[in-house]
Amino acid sequence: MRRALSLTFALASTLTMVAVVVLAMPQHITTETATGQVAICLTTGDGNQRLKCQTANFSPGSGSNPFKIQVTEAITYQQMDGIGAALTDSSAWLITNTPAITRTKVLSDLFSSDGIGISYVRLPMGASEFVTGTHYTYDDLPGDTQLVSFTIDHDRPYIIPILREAMRLNPELKVIASPWSAPAWMKSSGTLTGGGSLKPEYYQVYANYFVSFTQAYSQAGIPIHAITIQNEPYHTDATYPTMWMEPEEQAHFVKHLGPTFVQNGISTTIFIWDYNWDGWNYPLTVLSDTDAINYIKGSAWHCYAGTPDAQARVYEAHPDKDIYFTECTGDWGISKGFAGDLVWGFQNVAIGATRNWAKTILYWNLALLDENHGPHIGGCSDCRGLLTIDQDGTVTNTVEYYVVGHLSKFVEPGAYRIESSYITGTLESVAFQNPDKSIVLVVLNPGTVTQTFDVQWNGQYFPYTLARESVATFKWRILRVYLPLVLKDYRSPVSFQNFEANNGTPGDYFRDVWHMTCSFESTIVHEGRSVRCQAHAGDMGSHGGTVAIYPSSSKPIDLSSGSALSVWVYDTQGSNTVELRLCNYDTVCSNNVWSERKSSQNEWTEITWPLSALTGVDKSKIRSIQIYEWNDGMYYFDDITWK
């Protein structure tokens, strides 16, 4: 679990906005709302403010400014896997070889909640251009088809230790690995540099090479969450390792790698392409292979040509395949100064890529050293890191540090992108809801004049003025308060298990607790008969509703020896999490727990909660369960069981 925002950025939990929504209450109690503070962090184009933080207050109403940014968490998009950058050989060597006090600060600034809390790292599999010694792979012995000389020993002195320290600072850190080239002896060119293709006779050997890599890193305590098949498969360079790979070749290799991962029990996921937006036909070609597609998790993208909407083209053709954004770096010939690079980075990457389905945002090097943007051997001579460490030990954060930080510090792994207003060229935004239900809104003013606007959420608003060529991240929390529920006047309650054998009126067996009107249903059923519930907004414009369901006898249900409780849900609105609590006769109820799994639209989905999470209630005397749905609309419930 990510820790709260740190005092380094002047953010305490007391500074986060509190919206109190009253759920699960008798109808004779009036709904109440309360507002608190919104945490705001700002970076201005002139560089005078860099992730500097302040607060604002929500007020009832919609505001009076002509520009509005409306945030709607009821509309969800992709779930985020993480934000970060690449740990190259050069970055790891550089961080390792700084004085201990500097190294500690650099790693904290990058990975801890006191810094920007990076949650995802890209790792070259072998050498890229950013190495300090010579170019290498993990098996450079010609003809070693049994991989007896395979070793990750090159990575042990400083790459693996830096990754371990990063994982200590952020236990949620994930790693995606990408090869720049297969070993030279597997290639048609016979060299690491200058391109060449993977020889067909080595496809299986190279698949085994990937297995050896993931297993070796796992044994070193670093699980590899994902891999890409080849970094930039349509790029070759005579100065550093590169390899050419046509889409048909990539599909053919996947058909070796996928089954080999399965046979070896490796859960690391496979991504294709890993290159620029203008090459969107490449992943479509690979995904057209009906055998290869079964082993492919999604496609990966870079920023150096094309526009981010290319990601959406591939997503729309294959909505079951994830989109990862895996590389971008500053300069490379287009530097526009701090303000220009800040705007470009948000328009195209932090906002542009995420609004086009990216589940990760990864920049290039974490850290670089000298006036030649190194150390490096060949390749990019003007790439930047998130920070630079001069030879005198001075650490300087680049503009990319703030582009990444405005997301990584606030958007947690598992967050969902949610709906927010987007005014092209004036106020461009992206929004997320974290697993703890806090909301994060990022707004960019890309123009040359200051803009004042209202942020609107849940019938409330606050005004904000954003300077030209500047960006602000807003975060607020939602606190739901449950008032005591008076349970009385029951008759012949239903069984928790099913609704098939029950007679009487629905009010005998289940009832509206908060904005949920229910009845029996015999058409849309999981088995026999279900409960149909219409969730509807209340007087204060709140969303969703709660239904209470009672057991089939006057005696309480004993769940004290159970481990989990499940409910089958048919959701007509979309993919939503479901909230559960348990109550005793005396109106004492448990805490409220959201499901980890989301329901599937117009399909029966089994939603399960661990009973250990539902604390504060006597589980041996359960009188009712209460189910809460977040959005307005029609829902069906059936077959409540426990283990």
**For the ranges 62-66, 160-164, 434-438, 509-513, which has the lowest average pLDDT?**
509-513
Fold (topology level) of 506-642: Jelly Rolls (2.60.120)
314 in Cβ contact with 279 (< 8 Å): no
pLDDT at 307 over 80: yes
* Cα distance between residue 248 and residue 324, in whole Å: 21
DSSP letter at 187 equals: B
Lowest mean pLDDT among 19-33, 203-217, 279-293, 314-328: 19-33
Quote the CA–CA distance of 207 and 191 in Å, as a whole number: 19
pLDDT digits (tens, 9 = 90+) for 467-490: 999 999 999 998 654 444 333 332
Spatial CA neighbour of 247 closest among 227, 229, 270:
229
Domain 7-78+420-482: CATH class, spelled out = mainly beta
- Average pLDDT (613-639) is 86
Inter-CA distances, 336 with 45, 192, 243, 342, 361, Å: 11, 34, 32, 9, 21
Contact 325, 306 (CB under 8 A): no
Residue 531 Cα distances to 98, 113, 519, 567, 640, angstroms: 64, 44, 6, 11, 11
Query: In sequence order, what are the residues at sequence separation of 6 or more whose Cβ sits closer than 8 angstroms to the Cβ of residue 622?
Result: 551, 556, 557, 558, 559, 582, 583, 584
Distance CA(2)–CA(234), nearest Å, equals 38
Give pLDDT, residue 491.
Answer: 28
Q: Is residue 1's pLDDT more than 50?
A: no
Asked which of 78-82, 262-266, 545-549 is least confident by mean pLDDT, the reply is 545-549
Quote the CA–CA distance of 536 and 573 in Å, as a whole number: 12
The DSSP H or E segment spanning 100 is helix 100-111
The model's pLDDT over 588-599, given as tens digits with 9 standing for 90+, comes to 888 888 888 888
* Cα-based distances in Å from 455 to 69, 315, 411: 5, 29, 18
Sheet holding 395-397, edge to edge: 367-368, 387-389, 395-397
pLDDT above 90: percentage of residues in the chain? 62
DSSP for 453-467, written as a single string: EEEEETTEEEEEEE-
Q: What is the mean pLDDT of the chain?
A: 86
| 473 CB neighbour count, 10 Å cutoff | 22
Count the Cβ atoms, other than its own, within 10 Å of residue 379.
17
Is residue 375 reached through a cis peptide bond, with omega within 30 degrees of 0 on the bond before it? Answer: yes
DSSP one-letter code for 240? S
CA distance 303 to 328: 5
The contacts of residue 539 (CB under 8 Å, 6+ apart) are: 31
Q: Which string of DSSP letters, residue by residue, matches 20-65?
A: EEEES--TTSPP-----EEEEEEE-TTSS-SSEEEEEE-EES--S-
Residue-wise pLDDT for 356-394, tens only, equals 999 999 999 999 866 566 676 777 777 888 999 887 788
- Residue 29: pLDDT band with limits 50, 70, 90: very low
pLDDT score, position 528:
75
**Model confidence at 133: pLDDT above 50:** yes
Residue 308 pLDDT > 90:
yes
Q: Is the pLDDT of residue 627 over 50?
A: yes
Q: Rounded CA gap, 362 and 352, in Å? A: 13
pLDDT of 482: 46
Residue 388 burial (CB count, 10 A): 20
Query: CA 380 from chain center: how many Å?
Result: 29
Token pair belonging to 521: 């249903």
CATH of 82-410, one of 3.90.1210.10, 3.40.50.300, 2.40.50.100, 3.20.20.80: 3.20.20.80
The answer, yes or no, to whether residue 140 has pLDDT greater than 80, is: yes
Q: Beta-strand (E) ranges in 522-632? A: 530-535, 545-549, 564-571, 578-584, 593-594, 604-610, 622-629
Which pLDDT value is given to residue 496?
62
Residue ranges of the domains in the chain? Answer: 7-78+420-482, 82-410, 506-642
pLDDT band at 275 (very low <50, low <70, confident <90, very high): very high
What per-residue confidence (pLDDT) applies to 613? 87
Query: Where is average pLDDT lowest: 112-116, 547-551, 609-613?
Result: 547-551
Residue 302: beta bridge partners? 276, 327
- Alpha-carbon distance of 277 to 265, in angstroms, equals 33
